[in-house]
Amino acid sequence: MTQQNVLVSDTKSGVSLTVFPKPPASPGGYISISRRRVLKNLEINGGQRINAWVESMRASSPTHLKSTPSLSQEHSTWILRHPSALDMFDQIVDASKGKQIVMFLDYDGTLSPIVEDPDRAFMSDSMRKTVRKVARRFPTAIVTGRCKDKVYNFVRLAELYYAGSHGMDIKGPTRSSKYNKDSKAEAILFQPASDFLPMIDEVYQQLVDKTKTTPGAKVENNKFCLSVHFRCVDEKKWSELARQVKSVLKDYPKLRLTQGRKVLEIRPNIKWDKGKALEFLLESLGLANCSDVFPVYIGDDRSDEDAFKKLRDRGQGFGILVSKFPKDTSASYSLQEPNEASDELSSTLGGVETCVPASTFPCVNK
Ligand SMILES: O=P(O)(O)OC[C@H]1O[C@H](O[C@H]2O[C@H](CO)[C@@H](O)[C@H](O)[C@H]2O)[C@H](O)[C@@H](O)[C@@H]1O
């Protein structure tokens, strides 16, 4: 370490680490475009601003980042602020001692590698084995933008909880809570956007129709939300595809657009996201008001930021961002790729000696 290092205590996790002073807000310029702002522009100004959004997606794509000259320096600075969860493992385990770990896992880019065809984003057998072991030790949930049933077909582990459609389709534990008072319920089902189903189906059909002239474009129906995939579309056609999406959405003010990894996502404009889903699941487990719960959320995408932020706001547990490249994030730690996520999960199993049996989930020191 060089001059001007500072020791930072991470209050939410209890971990201390040495970091450089906070770098300027826009190091090197390549993560300086706020996607939220760009999307807002896309919504407000239509065609004129579509190029700004396309530029944002291009600028944040790994192939372009690789050619950024200052990248390694930026990465070194970033990694000091978001150290590898594998390197920080002992500190993380110490911080979770005596607390009930609850594991939240995103799917694409976290449990499965990013691939061109979204229907073939399979999870490896070894990852499945690891997740199964984790779920035997800690309450574990998959929180994904995907349709719940589709992600279940990929994961195929009945012992997990599932929050599909960015948390708008939750199958949680059997327990009564303020959200679900029916003590006879087998498992909690929660669908805060069910009124939107007919609209989502209608928009899906329109998007399929509208985008069929763009080679490589794919529209995925995630039940309560939709994804328009850009990954297999020639970059020269990205603006055209974004315009097609915009032209359909202009008639649906109750829907909103968000941006993911080479994907535009269309969602009901309700105040619900992966962060709310995390809170809902903690509540369903009877752990929302415990001081000794330790939620860990691992994810790779913009939509996971809502969950990372929720953990920061709660001051409990922490988020881990899976990314090879520096990104603006509320996660505390980082991992480079899904393989590392698997290593981290395995280490957690080995490192945490005691935990409350996953069948009861009471607060440990209530
Ligand atoms: O919340 P997640 O589980 O991360 O889901 C977000 C989106 O993931 C999928 O798309 C991403 O992965 C695809 C397969 O690797 C890739 O082809 C695509 O470019 C990525 O954006 C999924 O297909 C989307 O529906 C999800 O919204």
Ligand 1 pocket check for 305: Cβ under 6 Å: no
247 residue type, one letter: S
The pLDDT tens digits of the residues spanning 260-277 come to 999 999 999 999 999 999
CA dist., res. 212 & res. 201, Å (int):
17
Percent of the chain having pLDDT more than 90?
65
Strand 318-322 to strand 293-299: parallel, antiparallel, or no bridges (unpaired)? parallel
CB distance 262 to ligand 1 below 6 Å: yes
The residue nearest atom 4 of ligand 1, judged by CA position, is 108
Residue nearest (by alpha carbon) to ligand 1 atom 21:
261
Place of tokens 């985008």: 211
| The pLDDT of residue 344 | 87
- Using the mean position of ligand 1's atoms as its centre, give its distance from the Cα of residue 219 in Å: 11
229 lines ligand 1 (CB under 6 A): yes
Enter the tokens of residue 104: 């939240």
State the burial class of residue 81 (Cβ atoms within 10 Å of its Cβ: 0-12, 13-18, 19+). middle
- Whether the per-residue pLDDT at 364 is higher than 60: the answer is no
Residue ranges of domains in the chain: 89-192+272-351
Rounded Cα distance, 129 and 141, in Å: 15
Measured between alpha carbons, how far is 145 from 267 in angstroms, rounded to an integer? 10
Q: Say yes or no: ipTM exceeds 0.95.
A: yes
Mean pLDDT score of the chain, rounded to an integer? 82
CATH 3.40.30.10 fits 89-192+272-351, yes or no: no
Span 292-302, mean pLDDT? 96
* 148-205 pLDDT tens trace: 999 999 999 999 999 999 999 999 887 554 445 555 557 889 999 999 999 999 999 9
The residue among 240 and 75 whose pLDDT is bigger is 240
Q: What is the pTM of this model?
A: 0.84
Res. 255 pLDDT band, cuts 50 70 90: very high
pLDDT digits (tens, 9 = 90+) for 72-85: 888 889 999 999 99
